[in-house]
Amino acid sequence: MTTARTALVTGAARGIGAATALRLARDGYRVAVLDLSGQDAETTAAAIREAGGESVAVGADVSDEDAVTAAVAQVADTLGPPTVLVNNAGILRDNLLFRMSATDFDDVVRVHLRGAFLVSRAVQAYQVEARWGRVVNLSSTSALGHRGQANYAAAKAGIQGFTRTLAIELGPFGVTVNAVAPGFVETEMTRAVADRLGVPFAELVESEAKAVPVRRVGRPEDVAAAVSFFASQEAGFVSGQVLYVAGGPRA
Ligand code: NAD
């Protein structure tokens, strides 16, 4: 048995979560890849193993209490106690306020906020026991306000308050809790936005890039690099922070 630590990344079958799982594996962690479908998660887990890392795939809905309890226990049994957690799973249900259904509001809040709560609560038991841990939550520049995203903006702003509170509660146990708040990143999530708006993805990317000071949109690896910093041993005195990863100071 190696002394490597175990990281759990939710929503890691693709996009930012997959890039983060691969990055943390490269950093030396064993990585549990959690997503709605275990089969989809296996794609990332297999890529980690092919690159020489240790990984397992776990299927669970982060907003389902029993499924989360079982999934976290499974990770602890197969890869060792998870002490690094990246709450990344997320969905979009965009619409202007007057057209947004209560279901679309609830679904977004349920996955982002209830999901991060349930998985953090399950993982903190292992972190507290180890007297060491890292939690990194995915917020967004949308937390600052974004047309058509009342549900998502509320959830991503909520993630920031959640992050600061966990930092206060878990700090005494050697656990740091931080958030990364990406701007526009090229993933299936933003591809779906282009589809909804009826514009080609390349066109949306080009117009978004024009508004970003570094004149490009984000890549999943840009976000993974920020998560990697927060997860590192060296970041032990940084907690309760929100790092915007957006190519500029704001959206
Ligand atoms: P994505 O849609 O490509 O991937 C999200 C993953 O989460 C998918 O694999 C999906 O199956 C999984 N997922 C969704 N609901 C789940 C649930 N209930 N339980 C378990 N897994 C679930 O999205 P992405 O762009 O990679 O986004 C990842 C995170 O980053 C999200 O929290 C998102 O809100 C955030 N974010 C993305 C962007 C962006 O521009 N892409 C910007 C800011 C923040």
pLDDT at 2: 45
Digit-coded pLDDT (tens) for 82-127: 999 999 999 999 999 999 999 999 999 999 999 999 999 999 999 9
Side chain identity at residue 95, one-letter code: N
Residue ranges for the chain with pLDDT beneath 50: 1-2
User: Using a 6 Å cutoff on CB, does residue 166 contact ligand 1?
Assistant: no
Domain 2-183+220-245 in CATH 3.40.50.720? yes
Closest ligand 1 atom to the C-alpha of 37? 11
Residue indicated by tokens 């998502």 = 152
Question: Hey, what are 156's tokens?
Answer: 């991503």
Which segments of 88-196 are extended strands (E)? 133-138, 175-182
User: Using a 6 Å cutoff on CB, does residue 138 contact ligand 1?
Assistant: yes
Domain ranges of the chain: 2-183+220-245, 184-217
Question: Hey, what are 221's tokens?
Answer: 């690896």
Closest CA to 233 of 179, 174, 182, 160: 174
Task: Note if the pTM is more than 0.95.
Answer: yes
Closest CA to 230 of 37, 75, 27: 27
pLDDT at 3: 67
Give the phi and the psi of residue 104 in degrees, each rounded to 5. Answer: -65, -35
Which residues have a Cβ under 8 Å from the Cβ of 43 and sit 6 or more positions away? 13, 14, 18
pLDDT at 179: 99
